[in-house]
Structure 1
Amino acid sequence: MRKIVIAGNWKMYKTQAESLEFLQGFMSELDATPDEREVVVCAPFTDLGLLSKSLHGSRVQLGAQNVHWEDVGAYTGEIAGAMLAEIGVRFVVVGHSERRQYFGETDETVNLRLRAAQRHGLTPILCVGETKQQRDAGETEAVIFNQLAKDLIGVDQQNLVIAYEPIWAIGTGDTCDSAEANRVIGLIRQKLTNANVSIQYGGSVKPDNIDEIMAQPEIDGALVGGASLDPKSFARIVNHQA
């Protein structure tokens, strides 16, 4: 059975003090979420230890924003899967377009990170998506299928979440039409060996469009950026009407 996974990606926002302030507002706004609805906060590395203690015993799971493919080594600025698992991290974002665009991430390194995450019992959230130029050129499907073919080599699809994030919709305020997002996600599902993989939509998800997004039959959740930074806004998204 496919689970609904709502994940907030805080990116490079929130100090430890700010993350605790967020939790105070967020937890009080949460409805009793159904068992099939996973709630994840993907926080900066410096917040993870504190959040792990604060979220212990709650319905909210902890996520990181990256993981290295080696278990140990001289990789300044990177973090290993064992380090994340040790402090209670359950999920990790892999292959976000900002990592691909700004930090040289390739499909080959994304694949290595995915397998490393799974090796340490973490559930990776694999991000795929096209640029505006690629969409306008009619290359959306080809770009995404190529990403999937390379990213998923040797990856266990029993322990995986995929996020379709059209790059042109991230942080721009432009949301992909929900029916179009549903179409693309349906095509992604056809390329998988496990039909029960949860596939999220990401890209300018907000409280005023979450119900429409989640009404689509192929969409199993959302990877939320800016709207996840505000406790009431993110709670409204988590509490969406199924």
Structure 2
Amino acid sequence: MLKKQQSKLVVANWKMHGCLTSNDVLLHAFTQRAVTLEPQVRLAVCVPYPYLAQAQNRLTSTSIEYGVQDVSAHTHGAYTGEVAASMVAEFGATLAIVGHSERRIFHMESSELVAAKAQRALESGITPIICVGETLDERQAGKTNSIVYTQLAAVLDRLDDEADVARLIVAYEPFWAIGTGQIPAVQQIKQVYGAIRAQLMEKAVNIHVPLLYGGSLKPDNALELFSQSDIDGALIGAASLSAVDFLEISAAVSIALSENQDDSK
């Protein structure tokens, strides 16, 4: 019997934005609001590497987790500009986004490279958030499920231990929805989630891997989306740079969680 996840995770992905001053304002707002949410709502922030120390300083004594937006596929060596997962772990980071669509598209990252990065993160005690998703052309060609399956399969094929699969988080983020204001219909998202769940169960039958959604999330569409009990949280880009928007989305997740719990009684 699959164990149902009772919490929801809301992750801010700041991408290549921020400065010490604006970061302080955002992190202060996040920590002030976090205590007002349902206790099962987890907040996290994935920051650019230079701000890891700032995140560590501001968030270590709070309930908010923090991490990075990428890690190297290598453990160490002559890889100028790369940052190893072990280095990130020294700052207390617990999360690493890998395979974000912007990395796959603009940096030509293969699914095999993404899988290696996920493995390096796991080896350093960091939870990888595996991003999967299709382009608009791929969706219109009816290839969404096959694209997502192939992207995730590269990671699952690399992991021999079911315990490692249990530590994964998967984020479905259709590339065509990121920053465009467009978002798939809820039923379309649920259909992709069903396919991902079936694929995960081929590898680990009794494990619930959290599934997040990312792509043009805003306060006005968050409540409908997160009212779906099988959507375990959000990976938020642009809206996470606004304390108001990020916290309104987090509040919507909290409300949805509370309503789902009431319905199950």
TM range (shorter): over 0.9
Paired with 1:197 and 1:69, the residues of 2 have a C-alpha distance of 22
Q: Which residue of 2 aligns with 1:225?
A: 237
Q: Which residue of 1 aligns with 2:208?
A: 196
Q: Which residue of 2 aligns with 1:182?
A: 190
**Aligned sequence identity (%):** 38
* Corresponding residue to 1:210 among 222, 232, 236: 222
**CA deviation after TM superposition for structure 1 residue 35, in Å:** 3.8
Give the SS at the match of 1:223: strand
Q: Are the equivalent residues in 2 in contact too, given 1:8–1:41 (CA < 8 A)?
A: yes
Classify 1:36/1:28 alpha carbon distance in 2 versus 1 (closer, same or farther; 3 Å): closer
Paired with 2:41 and 2:32, the residues of 1 have a C-alpha distance of 17
Paired with 1:25 and 1:146, the residues of 2 have a C-alpha distance of 39
1:40-55 correspondence to structure 2 within 5 Å: 40-55=44-59
Query: What are the superposed Cα offsets for residues 47-77 of structure 1, whole Å, 9 maximum, x if unpaired?
Result: 1111111011111100100111222111111
Unaligned residue ranges in structure 2 (runs of 5+): 257-265
* Corresponding residue to 2:15 among 11, 17, 24: 11
* TM-score between both structures, scaled by the size of structure 1: 0.96
Q: Are the equivalent residues in 2 in contact too, given 1:26–1:231 (CA < 8 A)?
A: yes
**CA deviation after TM superposition for structure 1 residue 201, in Å:** 0.7
* Corresponding residue to 1:21 among 22, 25, 29: 25
Query: What are the superposed Cα offsets for residues 93-133 of structure 1, whole Å, 9 maximum, x if unpaired?
Result: 00001001111211110010000000000000000001000
Give the SS at the match of 1:219: coil
Give the SS at the match of 2:166: coil
Query: What are the superposed Cα offsets for residues 125-166 of structure 1, whole Å, 9 maximum, x if unpaired?
Result: 000001000000111111111111113223321111000001
Q: Which residue of 2 aligns with 1:164?
A: 172
Paired with 2:58 and 2:146, the residues of 1 have a C-alpha distance of 43
Q: Are the equivalent residues in 2 in contact too, given 1:176–1:203 (CA < 8 A)?
A: no
In the alignment, is residue 151 of structure 1 matched against residue 155 of structure 2? yes
* TM-score between both structures, scaled by the size of structure 2: 0.88
1:84-99 correspondence to structure 2 within 5 Å: 84-99=88-103
Q: Which stretch shows the higher mean deviation, 202-211 or 117-126?
A: 202-211
Unaligned residue ranges in structure 1 (runs of 5+): none
Paired with 2:142 and 2:194, the residues of 1 have a C-alpha distance of 17
In the alignment, is residue 136 of structure 1 matched against residue 140 of structure 2? yes
Paired with 2:75 and 2:173, the residues of 1 have a C-alpha distance of 28
**CA deviation after TM superposition for structure 1 residue 220, in Å:** 0.6
Q: Which stretch shows the higher mean deviation, 214-223 or 129-138?
A: 214-223
- The number of aligned residues is 242
Q: Are the equivalent residues in 2 in contact too, given 1:16–1:46 (CA < 8 A)?
A: no
Paired with 1:34 and 1:121, the residues of 2 have a C-alpha distance of 27
Q: Which stretch shows the higher mean deviation, 130-139 or 34-43?
A: 34-43
Letter in 2 for 1:113: K
Query: What are the superposed Cα offsets for residues 73-100 of structure 1, whole Å, 9 maximum, x if unpaired?
Result: 1111110111111001000000001001
**CA deviation after TM superposition for structure 1 residue 26, in Å:** 2.7
**CA deviation after TM superposition for structure 1 residue 31, in Å:** 4.5
Letter in 2 for 1:124: P
Q: Which residue of 2 aligns with 1:110?
A: 114
Paired with 2:188 and 2:112, the residues of 1 have a C-alpha distance of 28
Paired with 1:112 and 1:118, the residues of 2 have a C-alpha distance of 10
